[in-house]
């Protein structure tokens, strides 16, 4: 078992290990006095892991309630968010009570946003059950829900009080879900550590989870509110979010980000933002991991979606420019170049 402390405005621990989920109550009790704990989860994770978490919370003297919503990106909505808030109010949750998110990125994002806003903010714990959430979304306090107009358009920065990453939970993930995690792991490797790639290829979850959390820790500590360095972690997401939305989420987040990283790499070179084209290298690594890199949408459609990107400030957008595997930089380009950037990336 390994513990990372994330030194943000509200510091917190990330506990990483195998088969530790059944001890969640103990880890939580070390940080919170007995109170009400609302376990928020989805329909799939509920049948796999929520009972263990609830039992261990009860053993430590917590009073538990549970909110379960259907698995899938469509649940990351205003509707689900409202249901969670009403459930908290109905059970008279106060500022000394807690939310415990048990699941992947969707559960963590929406439960975190409910925690950020209910009574103007209560504490929450993230217990991850997917590869993707263990290595990326659970750390850093980005909480959000989707609007019909786009992904993650409403949210708040609200750091969790504790994150528990049990990579034993990956045993119950389908190969498709494992691939989701590989996309974000590859992103971390492309952005800051080329040495990580063989470990991703060998499914060395122990090493990849710890290294990705360590990378994310350094980036989030340097730029908690995503005004600079942290935007590197958005590599592939300007295009990726558009692909997800245009496909009505039939293309999953990881698959879309993989396609997005290739488009954005080609685009950066074609627009003259970098002197080396590493898109073939990136494509070859991603294809080797099992990704289909074809894009079925037009540059016009992806451009329209990119207008919702959170890296737009006034008449400029920040793009991630890969210079070598493990080395990316951020550049601001005029919004007037964005359409051409996307068009060139898809040639
Ligand atoms: N998932 C990207 C970030 O947390 O900044």
Under 8 Å between Cβ of 160 and 9:
no
Closest ligand 1 atom to residue 184 Cα is: 1
Beta-bridged to residue 324, according to DSSP, are 327
CA of 272 to the centre of ligand 1 (A): 27
Summarised one tens digit per residue, pLDDT across range 289-322 is: 999 999 999 999 999 999 999 999 999 999 999 9
Closest ligand 1 atom to residue 137 Cα is: 1
CA of 230 to the centre of ligand 1 (A): 7
With the most atoms of ligand 1 within 8 angstroms of its CB, the residue from 131, 138, 142, 330 to mutate is: 142
Closest ligand 1 atom to residue 234 Cα is: 2
CA of 137 to the centre of ligand 1 (A): 6
Under 8 Å between Cβ of 183 and 243:
no
Handedness of CA 37, 40, 44, 49 (dihedral sign): negative
With the most atoms of ligand 1 within 8 angstroms of its CB, the residue from 234, 240, 256, 257 to mutate is: 234
The dihedrals phi and psi of 318, each to the nearest 5 degrees, come to -90, 130
**Which residues lie with the beta carbon below 6 Å from any ligand 1 atom?**
136-137, 140, 142, 226, 230, 233
Q: What is the 3-state secondary structure (H, E, C) of the chain?
A: CEEEEECCCCCEEEEEECCCHHHHHHHHHCCCCCCEEEEEEEHHHHHHHHHHHHHHHHHCCCEEEEEEECCCHHHCCHHHHHHHHHHHHHCCCCCCCEEEEEECHHHHHHHHHHHHHHHHCCEEEEEECCHHHHHHHCCCCEEEEEECCEEEEEEEECCCCEEEEEHHHHHHCCHHHHHHHHHHHHHHHHHHCHHHHHHHHCCCHHHHHHHHHHHHHHHHHHCCCCCCHHHHHHCCHHHHHHHHHHCCCCCCHHHHHHHHHHHHHHHHHHCCCCCCCCHHHHHHHHHHHCCCCCCCCCHHHHHHHHCCCCCEECCEEEEEEEEECCEEEEEEEEHHHHHHHHHHHCC
CA of 241 to the centre of ligand 1 (A): 13
Query: Looking up tokens 């530790």, which residue turns up?
Result: 20
With the most atoms of ligand 1 within 8 angstroms of its CB, the residue from 157, 230, 311, 328 to mutate is: 230
CA of 60 to the centre of ligand 1 (A): 32
Give dist(CA 84, CA 102) in Å, integer: 14
Summarised one tens digit per residue, pLDDT across range 47-94 is: 999 999 999 999 999 999 999 999 999 999 999 999 999 999 999 999
Residue identifier of the C-alpha nearest atom 3 of ligand 1 = 233
pLDDT computed for residue 327 by the predictor: 97
The predicted model gives 216-231 an average pLDDT of: 97
pLDDT computed for residue 146 by the predictor: 96
What average pLDDT is seen over the chain?
Answer: 97
pLDDT computed for residue 22 by the predictor: 97
Give dist(CA 43, CA 109) in Å, integer: 16
Give dist(CA 288, CA 127) in Å, integer: 30
Summarised one tens digit per residue, pLDDT across range 20-55 is: 999 999 999 999 999 999 999 999 999 999 999 999
Summarised one tens digit per residue, pLDDT across range 93-149 is: 999 999 999 999 999 999 999 999 999 999 999 999 999 999 999 899 999 999 999
Summarised one tens digit per residue, pLDDT across range 233-269 is: 999 999 999 999 999 999 999 999 999 999 999 999 9
Beta strand pairing status for 327-334 and 316-324? antiparallel
CA of 143 to the centre of ligand 1 (A): 10
Under 8 Å between Cβ of 60 and 26:
yes
Residue identifier of the C-alpha nearest atom 2 of ligand 1 = 233
Structure token digits, residue 270: 């074609």
Query: Looking up tokens 């007995």, which residue turns up?
Result: 34
First to last CA, the chain: 46
């Amino acid at each position: 078992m390994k513990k990372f402390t994330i030194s943000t405005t509200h510091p917190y621990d990330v506990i990483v290990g195998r088969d530790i989920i059944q001890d969640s109550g103990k880890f939580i009790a070390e940080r919170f006095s007995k109170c009400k704990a609302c376990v928020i989860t989805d329909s799939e994770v509920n049948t796999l892991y929520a009972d263990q978490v609830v039992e261990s919370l009860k053993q430590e003297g917590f009073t538990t309630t549970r909110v379960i919503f259907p698995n899938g990106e469509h649940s990351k909505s205003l509707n689900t968010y409202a249901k969670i808030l009403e459930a908290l109010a109905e059970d008279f949750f106060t500022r000394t009570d807690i939310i415990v998110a048990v699941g992947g990125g969707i559960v963590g994002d929406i439960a975190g946003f409910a925690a950020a806003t209910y009574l103007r903010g209560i504490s929450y714990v993230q217990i991850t059950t997917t590869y993707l959430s263990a290595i990326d979304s659970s750390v850093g306090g980005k909480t959000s829900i989707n609007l019909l107009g786009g992904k993650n358009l409403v949210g708040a920065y609200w750091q969790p009080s504790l994150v528990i990453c049990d990579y034993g939970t990956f045993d119950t993930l389908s190969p498709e879900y494992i691939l989701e995690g590989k996309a974000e792991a590859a992103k971390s490797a492309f952005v800051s550590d080329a040495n990580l790639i063989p470990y991703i290829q060998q499914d060395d979850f122990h090493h990849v989870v710890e290294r990705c959390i360590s990378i994310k820790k350094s980036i989030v500590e340097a730029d908690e509110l995503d005004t600079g360095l942290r935007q590197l972690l958005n590599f592939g997401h300007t295009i990726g979010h558009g692909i997800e939305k245009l496909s009505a989420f039939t293309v999953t987040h990881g698959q879309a980000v993989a396609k997005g990283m290739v488009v954005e790499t080609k685009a950066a070179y074609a627009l003259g933002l970098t002197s080396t084209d590493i898109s073939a290298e990136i494509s070859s690594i991603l294809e080797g991991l099992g990704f289909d890199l074809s894009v079925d949408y037009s540059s016009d459609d992806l451009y329209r979606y990119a207008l919702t990107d959170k890296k737009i400030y006034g008449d400029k957008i920040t793009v991630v420019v890969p210079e070598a595997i493990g080395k990316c930089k951020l550049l601001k380009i005029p919004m007037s170049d964005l359409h051409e950037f996307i068009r060139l990336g898809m040639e």
